[in-house]
Amino acid sequence: MRATRVVEGLAASTPFIGPERLMRERGMRELVRLGANESAFGPSPRAVAAMTAELERLAWYGDPDSYDLREALAGRVTCQLEQVLVASGIDELMGLCVRAFLEIGGVAVATRGTYPTFAYHVTGYGGRLETAAYTSEGSPDLDALAATARRERASIVYLANPDNPSGTFLDAQRVVRFYEALPPDALLLLDEAYADFADPAQLAPPCFDDRLVRVRTFSKAYGLAGARIGYALTTRTNAERLERVRLQYGVNRNAQIGALAALQDEAHLAWVLRETAAARAEYEALARELGTTTIPSCTNFVCIDMGSAAFATEVMAALLDRGVWIRKPGATPLDRYIRVSAGTADMRRTFAQAFRAVTAERRSIATP
């Protein structure tokens, strides 16, 4: 009994080790979760109330069309309902895009070291990933990405904006210019997981073209990561293509209900954005205090420069020993940073104490 050639050829790998596994392996009972850019500020109380009221009806499947949520999203974005596709998070939507637009042996392009689940899907569906490095400032290098896409005749180009793990943001004008520089038969998969944290005036306006799929989520600013729900914005043609292979009943019924209520609670979102900005400012001040710098972030996380990849790895491990879970970028030039998610004031205090202790115990941070 053999698996398919593609699956047989894959290395056993997971894009991420979950914090629960780290805790199990170390016998830890608690962990300050600052590693997955979850919202420490939680879901909207209105979303929690709406979901609580409906838990007894969880024996019913959710609406396979996610109609009510798509209607609300279409109204918010100003597009047709048929241009909105709801699935169980951006991870699933990226998989659908790869499946629908990348042939076995086809090439996809992304920034080296960006959100790894895209690469996971590309190799998982038998494609090949080509990458372009971040700029020295830590932004995706749009010129290098477009050149790589043209050279490799890429079928899909992945861009996270705001970017993960750098936190940098490219304004509408730069994204549009990049889009126009791509090969005419390449799909731009624009991962806007963190778009809710960006300045709406700077965000590329949703444009609808068969060569563009935008994906968004309720996991970050809306605080519903555990619910698994996100959406794609694209043309009717593309939505209908993705629909042909989408898991019809893949979305949790309560996630649909929670997402709809969360979308309507603008006060909670505004509060989360304020708290997130406060957390970023605090991390930046902490970095200055310790004699280092951060990458300006438009997201709910901040990259702090540790001077070298080895020291960044050491600090991450030492923080874990002290019960603080963060992550770090894996590829140069960002691998000398640690990435810390916005926490509540309490979580920030715990992180700051541990971070000060960990760096003081060792040598000071020497930025190159």
Q: Rule CB under 8 A: choose which of 32, 34, 40, 79 binds a copy of itself.
A: 40
Q: Rule CB under 8 A: choose which of 15, 75, 205, 291 binds a copy of itself.
A: 15
What amino acid is encoded at 195 in this protein? A
201 binds a copy of itself, rule: CB under 8 A? no
Name the H helices within 81-160.
Answer: 90-101, 116-124, 142-151
CA distance 88 to 4: 26
Compute the least distance from the CB of residue 186 to a copy of itself, in Å. Answer: 8
Instruction: Pick out residues in 55-74 that bind a copy of itself (CB under 8 A).
Output: 55-65, 67
3 binds a copy of itself, rule: CB under 8 A? yes
Q: Rule CB under 8 A: choose which of 32, 34, 72, 95 binds a copy of itself.
A: 95
List strands edge to edge, sheet with 128-132.
Answer: 84-87, 230-233, 212-217, 187-191, 156-160, 107-111, 128-132
Q: Which residues contact 215 (CB under 8 A, 6 or more apart)?
A: 90, 93, 94, 97, 189, 190, 191, 192, 193, 230, 231, 232, 233
CA distance 62 to 68: 11
Nearer to a copy of itself among residue 49 and residue 281 (C-beta): 49
Compute the least distance from the CB of residue 293 to a copy of itself, in Å. Answer: 29
What amino acid is encoded at 66 in this protein? S
29 binds a copy of itself, rule: CB under 8 A? no
224 binds a copy of itself, rule: CB under 8 A? yes
101 binds a copy of itself, rule: CB under 8 A? yes
Q: Which residues contact 267 (CB under 8 A, 6 or more apart)?
A: none
Compute the least distance from the CB of residue 168 to a copy of itself, in Å. Answer: 24
* Dihedral of alpha carbons 75, 77, 83, 88, sign: negative
Nearer to a copy of itself among residue 120 and residue 355 (C-beta): 120
Q: Are 315 and 338 in contact (CB under 8 A)?
A: yes
Compute the least distance from the CB of residue 63 to a copy of itself, in Å. Answer: 4
317 binds a copy of itself, rule: CB under 8 A? no
Give the x-and-dash track for 119-158 against a copy of itself (CB under 8 A): -x---x----------------------------------
Nearer to a copy of itself among residue 61 and residue 271 (C-beta): 61
Nearer to a copy of itself among residue 139 and residue 238 (C-beta): 238
Around Cβ 261, how many Cβ atoms within 10 Å? 24
Instruction: Pick out residues in 251-310 that bind a copy of itself (CB under 8 A).
Output: 251-255, 258
Our separate counts of H helices and E strands in the chain read: 13, 11
187 binds a copy of itself, rule: CB under 8 A? yes
Q: Name residue, tokens 């020993």.
A: 321
